[in-house]
Amino acid sequence: MLLKVMNKPIIIYFASSNKDKLTEIKSILLQNRLSKNIRVTLAPKGFSVNENSNTFIGNAAKKAKTLSKKLKVYAFSDDSGIEVFALDRKPGVKSARFFRNGKGLLEIVEKVKYRKNKKCCFTCAIVFSSPKGKVLFKTQKSWFGMVSEKPKGKNGFGYDPIFIVPGVNKTSAQISSRLKNKISHRAMAVASFVKWINESYKHLTK
């Protein structure tokens, strides 16, 4: 008689204290059919890292590796931001600091207002590391759009109110969360991550 072997569950930590990001990421993970044996939890309260890299991948790697080594767990991190082409792709990796409770968002609108080139993109990098801090997976995806004339919509967070979604003529803050979580920069990056971790699950539990 064959014995049925139960799949061993694995817990992965999200190296961030941003609950909005975790909520969005969990929704995307579900939409992409993350294995039921993989559970995601937020980093301990107060977790923070000096994000001083000049690349999204660099910052994401630093956060994931720091948490992995600190707790001896598998961890993944997201680093993302908006890049405005007329502003030499700024604020980029400094998007969170530039935001300043919405003042940065309004500053971008004002600076781009009279520019011909209103192209921009949201970029998201995801890095996954082992309990020893070794990077096992990384990806970066961009979602291209335009800067709106003024903030519109109340869904989402961050720069969503000024990012016009291509082909929809609405900002990311005006479309449904379900649609955003299918087409955004984070959706693309997380989908790539889910595909990899579902395929790698058996190796991670050895």
Full 3-state SS string of 37-56:
CEEEEECCCCCCCCCCCCCH
CATH number of residue 82's parent domain: 3.90.950.10
Q: What is the structure's pLDDT at 154?
A: 93
**79 in active site:** yes
User: Is 2 within a domain?
Assistant: no
Of 20, 78, 79, 88, which is the active-site residue? 79
- Per-residue pLDDT tens, the chain, 206 aa: give them: 333 334 678 899 999 877 787 888 888 988 888 888 899 998 998 898 999 999 999 999 999 999 999 999 999 999 999 999 999 999 999 999 999 999 999 999 999 999 999 999 999 999 999 999 999 999 999 999 999 999 999 998 999 999 999 999 999 999 999 999 999 999 999 999 999 999 887 778 76
Q: What is the structure's pLDDT at 24?
A: 85
Taken in order 79, 168, 84, 195, the sign of the CA dihedral is positive
User: Is 4 within a domain?
Assistant: no
Tell me the residue range of the domain where 85 lies: 10-204
Q: What is the structure's pLDDT at 206?
A: 65
User: Is 147 within a domain?
Assistant: yes
Q: What is the structure's pLDDT at 5?
A: 39
User: Is 1 within a domain?
Assistant: no
Q: What is the structure's pLDDT at 202?
A: 72
The domain tally of the chain equals 1
User: Is 78 within a domain?
Assistant: yes
User: Is 3 within a domain?
Assistant: no
φ and ψ at residue 122, rounded to 5 degrees = -95, 135
User: Is 131 within a domain?
Assistant: yes
Which residues, other chains included, contact 69 with Cβ-Cβ below 8 Å and sequence gap of 6+?
131, 132, 133
pTM of the predicted structure, to 2 decimals: 0.90
